[in-house]
Amino acid sequence: MDRLTSVDASFLSNESTTSHMHIGGVTIFEGPPPSYEDLLAHVESRLHLVPRYRQKLAVPPIEAGRPFWVDDPQFHLGYHVRHSALPAPGDEAVLRRMAARVFSQRLDRTKPLWELWLVEGLRKRRFALISKTHHALVDGVAGVDIATVLFDVKPVPEPVEADREWIPSPPPSGAELAARGLGELARSPIGAARRIAGAVSSPKAAARRVQEAAEGVGEVAWEFANPAPDVPLNVPIGPHRRYTWVRGDLGDFKRIKSELGGTVNDVVLCAVAGGLRRWLHARGIRTEGLELRALVPVSIRATDGRGDLGNQITLVRGPLPVYIEDPVARLRTVREAMDGIKASKKALGAEVISRFNDFAPPTLLAQAARINFSTRLFNLIVTNVPGPQIPLYVLGRELLDVFPVAFLPENHALAIAIMSYNGRIDFGLLGDYDLMEDVALIAEGIEAEVKQLLEAAAASAERSPGRGQDRRAPAGADQATTSPA
């Protein structure tokens, strides 16, 4: 049995009948679809690479801490891998509507928390896979995900042999779950005592860490005391969703940041802010002096922990200055603000708070988790994940597009997820069905803002040839390492 981390458990605590805490994506492939039987066999051959995908939740019968992951003795692959086809005309609008319906349904907590849909009938000799996984199960930055293990870097799939046949462990009894939970709660003070002993042996380093942590928590507290603005994005939502996407060229984003400064992630936030500005104006809302806040998940996973299971992320708030009309000036403001956040201790403060949650009882943890997703702190999620820049394949079919899907916390009507892949950068916009009938306006606005930034970058290059080389962000700063929330 493995216990959920406090971050994993927080996603369960925040889930409701209207707010679903699953994430995923719509992936489009070139070529005829594989048969359902071939896809089942392919998934089954790789399941040993993601052991969590054959496990389900086990909740202790008393207040004995967070739930556990245990093997599902009734695991049936055919329940999780599903088969569907688009009605005529089979265009991308029909695929988006289907994806919206898939993401409108909560996952069954009595089974492993994931689904994979094979979708036939897409025009232009293509097909799609829709992946859907509870956020408690997967950390997008870790790469431990059912969709990723299905991919190959060569058209001809290479066999991935399991060391041994999977045999589920016997399910634990309620008494065993309670005893294990209480035992881990009892060991928590021991861990704290060891940290105190370490602090005594290195008092200066410990004092510095305590001071930095206190400053970080203070910065997070300041944000809570100064709430995000009240806009139509932050109202009670329903269970049903709309979904649309925007295709982009990663080279365009790199040209913009190289000529105008910043990182690819800064350009992304600038374009999103511009799209939201246009949407607010279309709704008759004034934007003078208005700056929205985006919740930007950031990985805190150590390099040597990339194979570990469980979420290891923290959350920071990024600026969306919708009051600025000129996209170049807006990019400059975003860049300066993000540089300030990176230099501040906000991420450290959020991490300290999450570490305290490891010692919290379930009821207190649930309350703290809800505060994390409060509308006082942010208006919408904007998560940007850098993906592989080489072509990938599933059963010999090349992956063309990856449109990520985030989730909607309570009282948040919009979430935007971005992912780059093989020279492309795609935006996925998930909205509440009743409140975001005009979500396509934001998508169109993002496209228009990127076009304006490209034109400004080209004009800047003509005025000052070679200047873009001097304005590049530091190596490795092209995209923030974040998670699909």
pLDDT digit string, tens, across residues 39-64:
999 999 999 988 899 999 998 876 65
Sign of the CA dihedral with 84 first, then 86, 91, and 92 last:
negative
SS3 239: coil
Q: Identify the pLDDT of residue 364.
A: 47
User: Which one from 135, 240, 281, 412 is the annotated catalytic residue?
Assistant: 135
Report whether pLDDT(353) > 70: no
Region 266-286: what's the mean pLDDT?
Answer: 97
Cα separation, 182 vs 62, in Å, equals 9
**Mean pLDDT rounded to a whole number for the chain:** 82
268: its two tokens: 């992304």
Q: Identify the pLDDT of residue 147.
A: 76
The residue with greater pLDDT, 425 or 196, is 425
Q: At 388, phi and psi to the nearest 5? A: -65, 145
Q: Identify the pLDDT of residue 370.
A: 60
Residue 134 bears catalytic tag: no
Which among 218, 419, 424, 383 is positioned nearest to 299, based on CA atoms?
A: 383
Q: Are 292 and 349 in contact (CB under 8 A)?
A: no
For the chain, domains (ranges, CATH) are 2-150 (3.30.559.10), 215-387+406-470 (3.30.559.30)
Cα separation, 3 vs 58, in Å, equals 9
